[in-house]
Amino acid sequence: MDWEFTLLNYIQDNVRTDFLDKLMPIISFMGKLSLIWIIIAIACLCFKKTRKAGRSLAFDMIFNLIAGSLIIKSIVHRTRPCILDKTVELISSVPFDSSFPSGHTMYAFGAATILMIYNKWLGLAGYLFAILMGFSRMYLYVHFPTDVLFGAVFGIVFAITAYKIEGMLFDRDKPLFRLRSRSKAQQ
């Protein structure tokens, strides 16, 4: 954990600027309660052309919530860096839940992965935003680097899982449950 505090303190001592002090809380706020991803998922669900992406995003958010935010966070129950080191002047409020994994990062990388699967350009923009989201959590001193790293990994894994499950549930050519039909020879 020493190297993680070294990196977080490096950001505080060498990267912090007045501009970033205004920008990073805004970026972080955009991921609060995953509202941005919920809005995008609902918008995708409204149009036939983007409905599969909307369903995949919805499944991804459910996996992130259950597996990441409820199960993994409560098992690991890691204390946030801002609670362990109170000498850093915070420019945001201290989140109430545990630190590992970074939920903001997990949801952002999950959504970016889903967007990448369905639209490369939106996916690239999504990944850029996800990287900024992860950095903002370290900049704000509310997550360790490994919280952000594993948040990204979990987000990507949950997104791929969500995409595959959406395909199994809704793809007419490959349904999850297939009833056997009898051939004429068996009848």
Pick the CATH number of 2-170 from 3.40.50.12660, 3.40.50.2300, 1.10.606.20, 3.30.110.30: 1.10.606.20
Q: pTM for this one? A: 0.85
Domain ranges of the chain: 2-170
Cβ atoms 116, 123 nearer than 8 A: yes
pLDDT, tens digit only, all 187 positions of the chain: 699 998 999 998 899 889 999 999 988 988 887 888 888 899 989 998 999 999 999 999 999 999 988 999 989 989 899 888 888 888 888 888 888 999 999 999 999 999 999 989 999 999 999 999 999 999 999 999 999 999 999 999 999 999 998 888 887 555 555 445 555 555 4
CB count in 10 Å sphere of residue 118: 17
Compute φ and ψ for 96, nearest 5 degrees.
Answer: -85, -25
Interacting residues of 157 by C-beta distance below 8 A, sequence separation 6+: none
- Dihedral sign for Cα 43, 45, 51, 56, please: positive
